[in-house]
Chain A
Amino acid sequence: MAEHPLPSHDELDARLKGAGIQLSNEELEFFRGAYPEFLDQLKLLYSYDVTGEAYPFDVALFQEPQ
């Protein structure tokens, strides 16, 4: 599987701003402390070659009782 492109820190800043959340410079600096772990999490997530349709649960789980 080709490596999934990960967003830059600037792009993550832009996503937060795009969501309409305004932080002070001090709070933004604190929040940016999460970016390395956030990107590691995405890297791990995309290390899995999973395709198709997402069925969160076993299909039988929510079948109506017979």
Chain B
Amino acid sequence: MSQTRDELCWMTISEAAPLIKRRELSPVELTQAHLDRADAVDDRVKAFVTRIDDKAMAAARAAESEIASGHYRGPLHGIPVSLKDFYDTAGVRTTAMSKIFADRVPDEDCTVAASLKGAGTVLLGKVSMSEFGLRGHPTSLFSIPNNPWNLNRSCGQSSSGSAASLAAGVSMGSFGSDSGGSLRNPAHSVGIVGLKPTFGRVSRYGVIPCSHSMDTTGPMARSVADIAALLQATAGHDPHDPYSSKEPVPDYSANLNDGIKGLRIGVPRDYFFNKDGGADPETLDLAEQAIDVLEGLGAQVKEVTIPSVADVRASQGVIMISEAFAYHRQFLRDRHDEYGPVKFRFMLGALYTAEDYLQAQLLRSRICREVAEVFEQVDIIATPSMPRPASVQGDMGHPFSSLGGLNFLVVFNATGHPAISVPCGFTGEGMPVGLQLAARPFQEAALLTAANAYQQSTDWHTKHPVL
């Protein structure tokens, strides 16, 4: 082996996979390198909640043995990954970062974990998150992760550990979940790639719910090509998930390098690029520069409008909290002392009426129609991922401060469209920010082609923090 430990840990999946296939890179060495790096840096980053070093090394040895005997399973075989502590893993504690589930050890893998296992990945452990998937206040169990680019900054919410594990080089791929931006926000905050697939594209079976009509599971990685590989292994119909789609699964890597000449990109500047609307101007400028890069690659950029987008939070928030309350109701009655401050947000769900919930769904329907109309004119919608870079750690505001305010992500939770955040630069303070691209339902392949074209023309995703 010629690579140093850190060189191994900064490889992408698509760089490591051919080496593993040719037996020029050992899954055992690759896994050990990640565990060693986690030993060295995770006391500061705090990405992991539960490490399973022995099981990981056993899986790596099994992968190595299989490959040596000619049974190579594909591009994820022997690749070390992590999973948000929302995903049930057989025999491995799954806590949702709450005392409510502090000792919960599932008997069965969730569908995503089973699919990743079937693809030959090596699970390193479970990674941190905001308690039960809502805004990152102190949880009732464990601490929340620190941003590898600046340990005094947050990793965003709620798939923070997944993002931190990738930005810190202690895993090569991860899965987060996204009901209100929860994997794109952390991807933006730490400078990695996060894909919220179309609602129904990837199974949620065995993932602790937040909002049943918006919960979406999706991959996180350091490159778009890696996202394609992780999506390929997990997309498809699952009869255990009532919202799972039977839409056929295409080859997500086949057209990654097709380029974007003639692609029609819509930019809703009136809301997403309004410098008087409270967003950080530097963050908006970086996203605007990224759109210029896409135009330079041959895309046709035009301005579009989503009339009700500014108020989508009123709809999405009522729906998400009402549905979350339905899951948490009994715990909130009997064991609310075991929650962190997030319990107060769940309790808001007790205040909404059926009329409020349906009014929110009607507004959601209107926004769905508006976004569908935009997609009659363009192939992709481009926006900044977030209005500003990651906040100072602990500066999360009041638990209720997120009821309103500027939010660039939730519109695609309300509509179910696929959306990706790709790194598009750094602020003057050295914090990464992301560009959000969204596509029509089940057009993840087109989305990945556009994101990959951007990534092939820039080097933001190749930069790593010094830890």
Contact = CB atoms under 8 A, between A and B. Distances in A.
Contact of B248 (A15, A30, A65): A65
Given A50-B363, A52-B362, A61-B441, A20 B368 contact: no
A50 B359 CA distance: 7
A26 to B, nearest CB: 12
B90 interface: no
Interface residues of B, number: 47
B232 interface: no
Contact of A46 (B198, B245, B248, B359): B359
Interface centre among A16, A19, A41, A42 (most CB of B within 10 A): A41
Contacts of B329: 19-20
Interface residues of A, number: 37
Contacts of B403: 34, 37-38, 40-41
Interface stretch (B34-42, B106-114, B313-321): B313-321
B18 interface: no
Contact of B359 (A12, A16, A45, A64): A45
A58 B333 contact: no
A34 B344 contact: yes
A37 B400 contact: yes
A31 B200 contact: no
Interface in B186-217: 198-200, 213
Nearest to B369: A58
A21 interface: yes
A36 B15 CA distance: 52
A48 B198 CA distance: 27
Given A21-B332, A46-B359, A56-B365, A38 B348 contact: yes
B416 interface: yes
Contacts, number: 112
Interface string B392-421: 000000111101100000000011100000
Q: Is the interface of B mostly helix, strand, loop or mixed?
A: helix
B328 to A, nearest CB: 10
A52 B361 CA distance: 11
Contact of B368 (A21, A44, A57): A57
A36 B201 CA distance: 38
B308 A21 contact: no
B400 A33 contact: yes
Given A21-B350, A31-B344, A40-B404, A54 B364 contact: yes
B239 to A, nearest CB: 14
A52 B363 CA distance: 11
B5 interface: no
Contacts of A21: 332-333, 336, 347, 350
Contact of A12 (B351, B360, B369): B351
Contacts of A12: 351
Contacts of A47: 311
Contacts of A62: 200, 243, 245
B279 interface: no
A52 B372 CA distance: 18
A30 B350 CA distance: 16
B398 A41 contact: no
Contact of A45 (B248, B347, B363): B363
B314 A54 contact: no
B398 A42 contact: no
Contacts of B19: none
Contacts of B315: 45
A41 B227 CA distance: 36
Interface of B: 198-200, 213, 243, 245-248, 308, 311, 314-315, 317-318, 329, 332-333, 336, 344, 347-348, 350-351, 356, 358-366, 368-369, 372, 398-401, 403-404, 414-416, 441
Interface of A: 7, 12, 15-16, 18-23, 30-31, 33-34, 37-38, 40-42, 44-48, 50-52, 54-58, 60-62, 64-65
